[in-house]
Amino acid sequence: MKKVVLFASGGGSNAQAIIDYFKDSRKIEIVLILSNNPNAGVLERAKNSGIPGLSFNKFAFAKANSIHLLLQAINPDLIVLAGFLWKFPDFLVQDFEQKVINIHPALLPKYGGKGMYGIHVHTAVVAAGEQESGITIHYVNENYDEGAIIRQERCSVKPGETPQQVAAKVLELEHLYYPQTIESLLI
């Protein structure tokens, strides 16, 4: 079995899509869901799915502390960030080289970087009058949203559409393509 660890900060609809996709898999298992937010909906989803879920604070996330040691002990085949809003630390990027991926709700390299997350991204896309947006699945490196791109998928942005409407279209792409991409990287 290939082992996947998920990191998420919020409601976790992507985490849910991934959980559902691999629920009956004989090749890929979601072994742990980690969140920086003890009240994150994603931990409820973990519980409902029978997957261990754990929240952590800044201390536990520091080098040589509990999350680092836990990940070293698990030695996952892939670490998947799904709406994880803290910077992923450099020592973990180095320890798990080419094994950490993220999904971003826009077509990088546009609309990425610090502070560009969730609805802020879609607001910027609409304000700029873009005619398309989409998703970018990429490896995580030491800089926000700058790792090598694995896959991009697009959707239209029509005149008059709100950031919320664009967000809904983009989220649909995320749910469809993130699980598939995880599978293709592992099998």
* Residue 105 DSSP symbol: S
Residue type, 172: E
Is residue 103 part of the contact set for ligand GAR (CB under 6 A)? yes
Q: Which candidate in 68, 104, 138, 175 is catalytic? A: 104
Is residue 174 part of the contact set for ligand GAR (CB under 6 A)? yes
Query: Which x/- pattern over 34-73 shows residues binding ligand GAR (rule: CB under 6 A)?
Result: ----------------------------------------
Residue span binding ligand GAR (CB under 6 A) among the ranges 19-27, 53-61, 63-71, 117-125:
117-125
Residue 185 tokens, joined: 């990287």
CA distance 35 to 42: 8
CA distance 122 to 94: 31
Binding residues among 4-23 for ligand GAR as defined by CB under 6 A: 8, 10-14
- Does 104 participate in catalysis according to the annotation? yes
Give the nearer residue to ligand GAR in terms of CB position, either 96 or 177: 177
CA dihedral 19, 145, 75, 180 (to 10 degrees): 40
CB of 107 to ligand GAR, least distance (A): 12
The radius of gyration of the chain from alpha carbons, rounded to an integer in Å, stands at 16
Is residue 155 part of the contact set for ligand GAR (CB under 6 A)? no
Distance set, CA 77 to CA 97, 134, 136, 160 (Å): 11, 27, 21, 43
Is residue 111 part of the contact set for ligand GAR (CB under 6 A)? no
Which residue's Cβ lies closest to ligand GAR? 83
Is residue 104 part of the contact set for ligand GAR (CB under 6 A)? yes
Residue type, 151: R
CA distance 122 to 48: 30
Q: Collapsing DSSP states into helix, strand and coil, what is residue 81?
A: strand
Give the nearer residue to ligand GAR in terms of CB position, either 106 or 185: 106
| Residue closest to 168 by CA, chosen among 159, 181, 155 | 155
Instruction: List residues binding ligand GAR (CB under 6 A).
Output: 8, 10-14, 82-83, 103-105, 117-118, 121, 171, 174
Enumerate the active-site residues.
104
